[in-house]
Amino acid sequence: MSYFNIIYIFAFLPVVIILYNIIPKKLRPVLLLIASYLFFFYISGKLIIFLILSSLSIYFSALLMKKIDKVKEEKITDLESEEKRVVKEKYKRLKRTVLVVTILFNLSFLFFFKYLNFFGSIVNGILDILKINYSFKLIKLLAPIGISFYTLQAISYLVDVYNGKVEASDSLLKVLLYLSFFPIIMEGPITRFSSVCDSLLKGEKTTYNSICLGYQRILFGMFKKFVIADRLNIFVKLTFGNYRSYSSLVLALGAIFYTILLYMEFSGTMDVVIGSAEIFNIKLEENFKAPFFSKNISEFWSRWHISLGLWLKNYIFYPVSMSKFVKKITAWFRKLFGSRVATQVMGSMALFAVWSLNGLWHGAGWTFVVFGYYHLILILLGNIFEPTVIKVCKKLKINRDNKFYKFLRIIKTCCLVVIGELIFRAPSLSVAFGMLGKIFTKFSLKGFSSEVLSLGLDVCDFLVVILGVVVVFVVSLLNEKGKNVRERISQKNIFVRWAFYYALILGIILLGAYGPGYAPVDPIYADF
């Protein structure tokens, strides 16, 4: 069951809403937990045991860390400062041990289900090169749904408790629900405990407003998925499936369509996710903020899959930058080359860790690793050359705030993003490089229009895609300019409001890509 499944939107969700409103307030969080576990069990069956193990491990570890802090406070009350320091250090080490062991315990599940085969094949390759006659047997394992998302949430809770940013929760229900809440379990957003812990247990009754706003958001997500993403999928499948048969321009179009498809599918899922939570008065953070208006790759990643970017920033980038090892190396560079170079080195080392993990998080495969390092290189080049670009612009009297200059930067960023997504989508590195090679070296307009129309989409399909993209673009543009479209619609009178809703519903029904000839997109991020 995906979030776009009719069973989820028109059966599962409404039943949960009805039950939620008829039971006492105290029992509502329990209902959400039962619904979440049923949702998980429906998809992953017995693998639910791993979700429960992760939840219990972080619950008890957090309480243990709290207990360690309490004992420490009791012990140091009457001590002198030097003794205090020794005792503090002792308990800090103990706390750190609990943190590290629990993180490793949770990461072991992730490694087992997601990376065992990948690293196994690397080891087999090395054994083969060394002519050692042994190879590990590789088995395809079915991972618990959303393991990459809930494991990151588990780690964030533990680290926040360790750092004293969040108090360890005494409520088991709260921790269980935090990790399994059905709208976010499959594809995020990766949520911090502090931002949802209170609202999860509040059990506020749903209202006409919360249901209307929630379903309005869900409908918009369905529009993005059914009208645009599902329509483009057939074209993308054919071009990526057999790239040698197609011309360079068609391949470029395939890569552009995949980028649009990915955005519509993932941001559409986030609309369903955030809308579902909104119905229960639980506010989730936005995961996208008009990413295609970004002027460089760094900005793009602060607008695309925001929750993953923030997680990596908070739990990898800054801790790595501030680590003793990196500081030592930075100090050495500072002495030799000055502050600016030293900061670049410090940031680059942390970014290397971030993008290695970002690539691998998306999947256990070389295309994902290269996808990560591709972005790392672009960001590093951007950091290194930005001061020079600013100087050149000043000399040439180019106003960097000029609209046309900004537009050129946005186009440049979009092109770089499309190349990245091509690598991301390609079934192998040889296909990715083969496609890129063909796109950049064999440009030809010959037979382009007839070739485009032979890939599963007719003129009407293209017109619908353009119309759909324009609708999404206008909404994004208005939001970007600070004009909240949803608020504006909700302020209109009932006739105008429902005219919008009906237009959206009719759009989904009449323009959705259903039936033979189309290939619905599987939930892309759920596989991560």
Interface residues with another protein (CB under 8 A)? 163-165, 298-299, 302, 313-314, 317-319, 321-322, 330, 334, 339-340, 342-344, 346-347, 350, 383
In this complex, which beta carbon is closest to another protein, that of residue 147 or of residue 312?
312
In this complex, which beta carbon is closest to another protein, that of residue 244 or of residue 481?
481
What's the full length of the chain, in residues? 528
Peptide bond into 144 cis (omega under 30): no
In this complex, which beta carbon is closest to another protein, that of residue 173 or of residue 345?
345
Contact in structure between 335 and 298 (CB atoms under 8 Å): no
In this complex, which beta carbon is closest to another protein, that of residue 136 or of residue 332?
332
In this complex, which beta carbon is closest to another protein, that of residue 322 or of residue 392?
322
Q: Give min distance, CB of 38 to another protein, in A.
A: 36
HEC string of 174-185 equals: HHHHHHHCHHHH
In this complex, which beta carbon is closest to another protein, that of residue 46 or of residue 93?
93
Q: Give min distance, CB of 184 to another protein, in A.
A: 22
Q: Give min distance, CB of 291 to another protein, in A.
A: 15
Q: Give min distance, CB of 349 to another protein, in A.
A: 10
Q: Give min distance, CB of 323 to another protein, in A.
A: 8
Rounded Cα gap, residues 415 and 405, in angstroms: 16
Alpha helices in 163-207 (DSSP H): 172-180, 182-185, 193-202
In this complex, which beta carbon is closest to another protein, that of residue 158 or of residue 262?
158
In this complex, which beta carbon is closest to another protein, that of residue 117 or of residue 296?
296
Q: Give min distance, CB of 319 to another protein, in A.
A: 4
How far is the CA of 229 from the CAs of 191, 268, 305, 512, in angstroms?
26, 9, 17, 10
Question: For tokens 């070389």, what's the residue?
Answer: 366
How far is the CA of 350 from the CAs of 11, 301, 320, 400, 425, in angstroms?
46, 16, 5, 29, 26
Q: Which residues have a Cβ under 8 Å from the Cβ of 478 and sit 6 or more positions away?
A: 484, 485
Residue 329, amino acid? I
Q: What is the DSSP string of 269-295?
A: HHHHHHHHHHHTT-PPPPS-S-GGG-S
Q: Give min distance, CB of 66 to another protein, in A.
A: 17
**Within a 10 A sphere around the Cβ of 448, how many other Cβ atoms?**
14
Q: Give min distance, CB of 170 to another protein, in A.
A: 23
In this complex, which beta carbon is closest to another protein, that of residue 164 or of residue 516?
164
Rounded Cα gap, residues 153 and 159, in angstroms: 10
Nearest in space to 192 (alpha carbons), one of 160, 151, 146, 147 = 160
Q: Give min distance, CB of 366 to another protein, in A.
A: 28
Q: Which residues have a Cβ under 8 Å from the Cβ of 105 and sit 6 or more positions away?
A: 57
In this complex, which beta carbon is closest to another protein, that of residue 99 or of residue 255?
99
Q: Give min distance, CB of 350 to another protein, in A.
A: 8
The 3-state DSSP class for residue 5 equals coil
For 343-351, the CB contacts below 8 A with 24+ separation are: 344/383, 344/384, 346/321, 347/321, 347/383, 348/380, 348/383, 349/320, 349/321, 350/316, 350/317, 350/318, 350/320, 350/321, 350/326, 351/317, 351/376, 351/379, 351/380
In this complex, which beta carbon is closest to another protein, that of residue 484 or of residue 491?
484
In this complex, which beta carbon is closest to another protein, that of residue 171 or of residue 298?
298
| Residue 518 token pair | 């189309």
Alpha helices in 338-402 (DSSP H): 339-362, 366-395
Q: Give min distance, CB of 271 to another protein, in A.
A: 24
| DSSP H/E element including 266 | helix 248-279
Q: Give min distance, CB of 446 to another protein, in A.
A: 45
| Residue 522 token pair | 């599987």
